[in-house]
Amino acid sequence: MKEDKSRLIASLEIVTGVGILLFWIAFFTVGTAPENAGPAYFAYEYNFVAADILVIILLIVAGILLMKGRRLGIVLSLAAAGALIYLGLVDMAYNLRNGVYLASSVDLVVNAAINLWCVGFGIAVIIISRKFDY
């Protein structure tokens, strides 16, 4: 059972890391900003690039190490989980205070799904990882 859960977490970490990477590729190439995004939105988003790169690396490396059954995979998973929770909550706060969720139904669904995934998956990793032997 533990191995099934660690493989699931590992797979979801890798998919999440790749998803965040694809988000940034789309952001800088095709543009994913809301239609009414002002200069403050871009100033805000650019602050996430470095932190998200670290999270991407943590998620992918943790996922690979978990797949191999390495203890360091859990340690990195917990670090990535904390980072996901933090980044998701900060993004939610910004989106709520600045009307990003209200820009359109697409913005609401996409941004809310991303934010809820980051916070929810981060919490799930912490809860599930507590049951693993270190």
Find the mean pLDDT for residues 101-108: 79
The pTM assigned to this predicted structure is 0.88
Q: Kindly report the CA angle at 12 between 111 and 53, in degrees rounded to 5? A: 65
Both tokens of residue 101? 């969720």
What does the alpha-carbon distance between residue 104 and residue 110 come to, in Å, rounded to a whole number? Answer: 10
Domain boundaries, given as residue ranges, for the chain: 2-32+39-129
For the stretch 50-92, pLDDT in tens is: 999 999 999 999 999 999 999 999 999 999 999 999 999 999 9
Give CA 90 to chain center in angstroms.
Answer: 12
Q: Are 129 and 75 in contact (CB under 8 A)?
A: no
For the stretch 12-35, pLDDT in tens is: 999 999 999 999 999 899 987 766
What does the alpha-carbon distance between residue 103 and residue 118 come to, in Å, rounded to a whole number? Answer: 21
